[in-house]
Structure 1
């Protein structure tokens, strides 16, 4: 009986020992690969980090950007019969991407990463875009997608998450929740250099003015902030970047939830000058699009690099989208 107790105790203690990262036993990967030391990911064997001292990020809501194929699970005229509505948008987007030459591209209202990969394969072959990701909606065509010259790691998809309409009650005096829009938010690890990485969050928050829409955005933002707190608990020095169409005005309650945080480690900074507007693209009078940098990553922000690039005439920009793109640059330290 006594021996049986010892055996049970031994097995219990053995089960508490953390799992070994088997990659560490492989001399090549444990020595040469930065990611392997942390979580078991490795850089692709045919990949060489570019010898760059900086990298550029582009975010752009490209407005109803759909491929030429009808997805039978999505019922929308724009998606079902897109040819008459797209015009020259693909060619114009290609020109814009060549002009900006960003290392990391995040697009909102874009049908899929598969579509973006096909555009890159056909038109951007020599620009180095190798990595693509998204978390597409099951029932709608407006998604947030990423294209990167740098390897990508874990993507955290929030489509199954239910978020509250904070501070809002419906006509019956009852609170509301939603989980139909949260596919348009995700976070992903990006690895620009052997000893430098950051967590990128792409968003396309609920559109519209009014109390209900604001409450919905606040619920989405509250969830994201709790996610960011989880990441900071794992690594207090975590670099974090949030980009996209926030559908929130400058100085609004929603943006202030990011920028007015009292705890410095949880605060985000808007590097764009307050005078810069992004909507509508041909006559911009309000800001809806942002690149927000947490205080950790702001140390790498290249001063005065945040901007709205002037790519085409106002008329041409409006043919592509009702939003203007935003870009910024970071120094790799």
Structure 2
């Protein structure tokens, strides 16, 4: 379901969706179908040392980065996705340069991220469609839910929330959705799970704020959630009565995304809220392979998730 966005530039509403103006020379395509690719591309870095990041891998890129880059470019051409969300990618600056140099005919015009100040693996997005305001969560502190450390004290963290953001995307003049890119805390320990729960609760709170204003808001959460489909963490988005519009996982729980060459578990998702359920194209949100297992493993330890949707003016 969808709120209207036709009255760009009007002053009769304070809605962020009516004050966002598309570029004057941008023309929307008549095709109502659009696609999203989400992929944890495993420490994907450029050849330049960021002097503000002290990390051996970022300071000295692995020798196979050129090969990985070439394979990633081939994958992007094969996917031909309208929107691409990468996790563990160095920066939107790097992605924009990659697109300009190697994908100039693919129409990627818009790029965004909310990078960490002290880490080199970020969540970034590029899009053929105009985008609106990006909301980063990195400044927020979140609790470790139902967890106490060895000293019996409760804990909080604000180190990894930079790996989450939400942004409005405008595939059509009168159609928009809120895209949230995530890379949640890795690890299987009780503490790791508690950190992920805190991160997801932060998202739920912000989603509810948006839904209070736009009850029919379309939303997608995509990325590496580092949790299994049946986990308590995923339940915060899928089975949470405190969330005003819950999310659906359209991918079969027996389809795996990690590791790329011998998948045995799923950590990667494209979750769609109930408002947007009718815009999913049946069977078109899935774990993807562009090459054979060995080649996919060269690119990353994760397989990508790709989805196709149809914009509906309701």
Shared fold per TM-score greater than 0.5: yes
Separation in 2, partners of 1:88, 1:240: 35
Separation in 2, partners of 1:254, 1:204: 13
Match of 2:254 among 250, 263, 275: 275
**What is the aligned partner in structure 1 of residue 179 from structure 2?**
200
**What is the aligned partner in structure 2 of residue 55 from structure 1?**
34
**Given the superposition, is the C-alpha separation of residues 133 and 283 from structure 1 closer, same or farther in structure 2, using an over 3 Å criterion?**
same
**Offset, 1:40:** 2.0
Q: Is the 8 A contact 1:207 1:247 kept in 2?
A: yes
**What is the aligned partner in structure 1 of residue 279 from structure 2?**
300
Q: Is the 8 A contact 2:221 2:270 kept in 1?
A: yes
SS at match of 2:286: coil
Q: Map 1:203-242 to 2 at 5 A.
A: 203-242=182-221
**Offset, 1:24:** 3.6
Q: Map 1:1-333 to 2 at 5 A.
A: 23-24=9-10, 38-262=17-241, 265-333=244-312
Q: Is the 8 A contact 2:237 2:243 kept in 1?
A: no
**Given the superposition, is the C-alpha separation of residues 22 and 326 from structure 1 closer, same or farther in structure 2, using an over 3 Å criterion?**
closer
Separation in 2, partners of 1:263, 1:168: 21
SS at match of 1:266: coil
**Given the superposition, is the C-alpha separation of residues 22 and 276 from structure 1 closer, same or farther in structure 2, using an over 3 Å criterion?**
closer
Q: Is the 8 A contact 2:9 2:18 kept in 1?
A: no
**What is the aligned partner in structure 1 of residue 3 from structure 2?**
none
**Offset, 1:249:** 1.1
Q: Which has the larger radius of gyration?
A: 1
Q: Is the 8 A contact 1:306 1:328 kept in 2?
A: yes
- Listed one character per residue, the Cα deviations across residues 193-230 of structure 1 (whole Å, up to 9, x for unaligned) are 01110000000000001110000000000000000000
- Listed one character per residue, the Cα deviations across residues 24-57 of structure 1 (whole Å, up to 9, x for unaligned) are 48xxxx9xxxx99944221101100011121001
- Listed one character per residue, the Cα deviations across residues 267-317 of structure 1 (whole Å, up to 9, x for unaligned) are 100001122100000000000000100000111111111112220110000
**Given the superposition, is the C-alpha separation of residues 36 and 236 from structure 1 closer, same or farther in structure 2, using an over 3 Å criterion?**
closer
**Given the superposition, is the C-alpha separation of residues 278 and 23 from structure 1 closer, same or farther in structure 2, using an over 3 Å criterion?**
closer
Count the aligned residue pairs. 305
Separation in 2, partners of 1:110, 1:216: 22
Which residues of structure 1 form unaligned runs of 5+? Answer: 1-20
Separation in 1, partners of 2:223, 2:106: 23
- Listed one character per residue, the Cα deviations across residues 70-111 of structure 1 (whole Å, up to 9, x for unaligned) are 001111111001152524111111000000100000000000
**Offset, 1:58:** 0.5
Separation in 1, partners of 2:306, 2:198: 27
- Listed one character per residue, the Cα deviations across residues 242-267 of structure 1 (whole Å, up to 9, x for unaligned) are 00000001201101111112468421
Higher strand residue share: 2
TM-score between both structures, scaled by the size of structure 2? 0.94
Q: Mean Cα displacement is larger for which, 233-242 or 80-89?
A: 80-89
Which residues of structure 2 form unaligned runs of 5+? Answer: 1-6
**Given the superposition, is the C-alpha separation of residues 214 and 22 from structure 1 closer, same or farther in structure 2, using an over 3 Å criterion?**
closer
Higher helix residue share: 1
